[in-house]
A = this chain, B = another copy of it.
Amino acid sequence: MVIVMQPGVKAEQIQQIAARLEEVGLGVHLSEGKFRTIIGAIGDEKLVRQMSLEALPFVEKVLPITQPFKLVSREFQQENSVFKVGDCTIGDKQVVLMAGPCAVESEEQLLQAAAGVKAAGAQILRGGAFKPRTSPYAFQGLEEKGLELLAKVREKTGLPIVTEVMDQHTVGLVAEYADILQVGARNMQNFHLLRELGKLEKPILLKRGMSATIEEWLMAAEYIVSSGNPQVILCERGIRTFESSTRNTLDLSAVPVVKHLSHLPVIVDPSHGTGSWRWVPSMSRAAVAAGADGVMIEVHPQPAQALCDGAQSLTIDKFTALVTELRQVAAVFGKYITEEQA
């Protein structure tokens, strides 16, 4: 940390801060410039973060030097984390396709979607059983019944499933069924939930909060990893900005930034990221070209009949055409999407 003092700071005020730093074992490095005196605190920055030095009127600001996350950082682990789910590996050369309906609505709908996305080349089936909805009057998901249908369809198609867990209560229940547990954007800083997921031995798909900085997102991942579960897959799904022609603004630059700062895999959800089926194909291609480890795409047999987010769902035909393109884009970068097993 670098502590910048107000102009005109007095010697005893500098001394007061130095004393507090030394008290907790930090080194003190004083530098008197022409315009400002600054104090370098040498050692673990956590210790400085815990002092409220900015509450002192003679302190102008406190500047962090290192990142606040540890276990998820590229500094802590140089090589990429790679997780295995079913037959596929996430975080390596494979570009993983997760696809399926926003919400599980019925066995027929789910099976139709699953068969369609599998035939197109998807490796993982997505589908919501518990749905976080802005309105209390909107369809809230089939809940446990939805989980059962997901399991049934997994059995029939062989596709592992990713589904959302909305609260601590249901972590156990969802974990029984899901191959990957998803944390939605609204829950990215539901810290009790994160800690609970840190006790599992299954991968967690952690969506970025609507207004979360990349640093906060990695800190949320740090909650899970520091609680014991190293299998975190990050998922960019758009951030909130002033632009209203898309539902969110998909921040694809998050992909290289995360890859630089962290060893965790990162995938992209262009469906929520844009909010309209019209923009999903181009943004999926861009995500793969940006270096994402996968994409998560909403696909529905009949989008205009969907109980949830039909406006952003692809038809099976459109998804199938898209996968062909994604396969070629992946190949440019020495990556691959598996072919459907005949």
Contacts and interface: CB of A to CB of B under 8 A. Distances in A.
Contacts of A260: 278
A27 B31 CA distance: 11
Number of copies: 4
A54 interface: yes
Interface in A291-325: 291, 300, 303-311, 313, 325
Interface of A: 2, 4, 7, 27, 29, 31, 33-36, 38, 40, 42-46, 49-56, 63, 65-66, 68, 75, 132-140, 166-169, 186-187, 189-193, 195, 209-211, 213-216, 219, 222-223, 226-227, 239-246, 249-257, 260, 273-274, 276-279, 282-283, 285-291, 300, 303-311, 313, 325, 328-329, 332-333
Contacts of A308: 52
Nearest to A198: B136
Contacts of A167: 167-168, 190, 192-193
27 contacts: A34-B42, A34-B43, A35-B66, A49-B135, A52-B308, A52-B313, A53-B304, A54-B311, A133-B191, A136-B191, A136-B227, A167-B168, A167-B192, A169-B192, A211-B211, A211-B240, A213-B243, A213-B244, A241-B242, A243-B254, A249-B249, A249-B253, A252-B283, A253-B279, A253-B283, A260-B278, A288-B289
